[in-house]
């Protein structure tokens, strides 16, 4: 069961993107695109021909595959609604990377690194601008995300996500409320959402993620967009595993797994609604104001782990 959970992230991530866009449209008084529009967009891109820049090297061609493979690999390490396999494999002395939170975060960082290289390799000003901004955001986001994760890891005594999900007595304590707030801000930045970035614009003065994709087209662009959808759903699932682990099945019972799948669906819908609400209620901030926002996330994550050390919960 655990070996096939990543298929849900692979197949349902475009639907999560469609749900967020639909909720945003309803909040803004619009009808919005169909829920399955991201699937239509991916199918259209896979059928289109590619236009390759003359300056492109092997890096430009390899980046979409590396980005997609890194997100897919990270998805195989995250328990979606069943944690028994990962925690048991970890405890029996199996591969320590299986389900390890640090491995997951830096597997995603590998994909971001190659995406930035691909944007630079195209040889355009916008690609270089997007890549430099992406690396700046990454430098600011990763410390706060890791500290927020360490709060849950220290409480459970393990960085294995299956073990963290199985340890539920500390949740909703002050330390973990702070960690959750910091992690949510980090997820907004990692997925390129308002107020950090606007995924629906190509305005050169504001774009970050889209700047690295401007020279990609056809199949390459489809892989990058799909990987972006998967990364968003993966981070949502990681947030649910770390901070809302209730309902995750720890054994192979049929009814328990079905109930866990239902709980996971509800969590994803709640997180999609939260992301849509933030995007609809906030304006995009200037790039030079990002250190203030992401610095606040770092302060919250630092306070969370300090609070846990001082109070023990």
Q: Would you list the domain boundaries of the chain? A: 2-311
- ∠ CA 305-238-272, rounded to 5°: 110
The whole-number pLDDT of residue 284 equals: 82
Q: Express each pLDDT in 276-304 by its tens digit.
A: 998 888 888 888 888 888 889 999 999 98
pLDDT (mean) for 1-26: 86
CA distance 208 to 206: 7
In this predicted structure, which of 20-24, 169-173, 175-179, 233-237 has the lowest mean pLDDT? 169-173
Whether residue 207 contacts residue 116, with contact meaning beta carbons closer than 8 Å, is answered with no
CA distance 224 to 25: 24
Q: Express each pLDDT in 208-257 by its tens digit.
A: 777 788 889 999 999 999 999 999 999 999 888 888 877 676 655 566 67
CA distance 63 to 204: 22
Whether residue 197 contacts residue 209, with contact meaning beta carbons closer than 8 Å, is answered with yes
pLDDT band at 125 (very low <50, low <70, confident <90, very high): confident
**pTM of the full structure:** 0.87
8-state DSSP, 33: -
Higher pLDDT, 225 or 154: 225
């Amino acid at each position: 069961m655990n070996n096939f959970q990543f298929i849900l992230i692979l197949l349902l991530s475009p639907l999560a993107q469609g749900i967020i866009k639909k909720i945003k449209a309803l909040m803004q008084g619009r009808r919005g695109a169909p829920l399955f529009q991201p699937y239509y967009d991916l199918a259209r891109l896979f059928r289109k021909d590619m236009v390759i820049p003359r300056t492109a090297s092997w890096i430009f061609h390899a980046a979409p595959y590396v980005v997609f493979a890194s997100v897919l690999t990270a998805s195989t390490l995250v328990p979606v609604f069943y944690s028994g396999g990962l925690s048991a494999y970890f405890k029996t002395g199996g591969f320590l990377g299986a389900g390890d939170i640090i491995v997951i975060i830096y597997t995603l960082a590998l994909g971001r690194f190659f995406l930035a290289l691909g944007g630079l390799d195209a040889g355009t000003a916008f690609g270089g601008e997007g890549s430099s901004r992406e690396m700046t955001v990454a430098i600011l986001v990763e410390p706060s995300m890791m500290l927020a994760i360490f709060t849950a890891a220290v409480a459970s005594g393990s960085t294995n996500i299956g073990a963290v999900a199985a340890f539920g007595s500390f949740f909703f304590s002050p330390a973990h409320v702070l960690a959750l707030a910091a992690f949510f801000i980090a997820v907004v930045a990692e997925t390129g959402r308002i107020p950090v970035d606007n995924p629906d614009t190509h305005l050169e003065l504001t774009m970050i993620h889209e700047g690295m994709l401007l020279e990609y087209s056809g199949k390459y662009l489809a892989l990058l967009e799909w990987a972006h959808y998967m990364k968003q759903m993966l981070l949502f699932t990681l947030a649910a595993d770390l901070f809302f682990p209730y309902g995750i099945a720890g054994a192979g019972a049929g009814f328990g797994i079905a109930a866990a799948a239902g709980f996971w669906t509800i969590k994803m819908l709640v997180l999609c609604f939260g992301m849509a609400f933030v995007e609809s209620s906030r304006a995009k901030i200037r790039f030079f104001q990002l250190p203030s926002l992401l610095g606040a996330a770092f302060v919250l994550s630092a306070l969370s782990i300090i609070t846990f050390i001082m109070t023990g919960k």
